[in-house]
C-alpha cells in the first residue's frame, strides 16, 4: 500500500502534540522557548526530558553554574 505525501501530511497534523513553554534563568537574564517534544522520565521524583539545541539561549542559561546557597 502506497500513501501519497499529501495524505501523510494531512494525517500527521491530526495527531495531537503537546506544546510546552520552557522557562530558564541565570542571574537576572531570563528566557522562554517553546518545545514540541517533551517526555516523562520518572514518576518519583517527577522528571521530564526536553530536547534543547546547544546553540539556543535556553541551553546556555540552564547550563550555567548555579551558585551554592
Predicted confidence (pLDDT) per residue in 3-52, tens digit? 778 887 787 777 777 788 999 999 899 999 998 888 889 888 888 899 99
What the block records as the C-alpha cell of 55 is: 546553540
pLDDT at position 19: 82
When pLDDT is averaged across residues 44-69 and rounded to a whole number, the result is 86
Q: Please tell me the predicted confidence (pLDDT) of residue 40.
A: 87
> What's the gap between Cα 20 and its chain centre?
6
pLDDT value at residue 67? 65
Cα 23 to Cα 15, 31, 56, distances in angstroms: 25, 6, 12
**Residue 64 confidence (pLDDT) above 70:** yes
> Could you count the other beta carbons within 10 Å of the beta carbon of residue 24?
19
Amino acid at each position: 500500500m502506497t500513501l501519497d505525501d499529501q495524505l501523510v501530511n494531512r494525517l500527521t497534523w491530526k495527531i495531537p502534540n503537546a506544546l510546552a513553554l520552557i522557562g530558564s534563568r541565570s542571574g537576572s537574564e531570563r528566557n522562554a522557548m517553546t518545545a514540541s517534544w517533551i517526555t516523562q522520565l520518572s514518576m518519583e521524583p517527577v522528571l521530564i526530558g526536553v530536547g534543547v539545541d546547544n546553540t539556543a539561549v535556553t541551553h546556555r542559561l540552564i547550563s550555567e553554574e548555579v551558585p551554592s546557597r
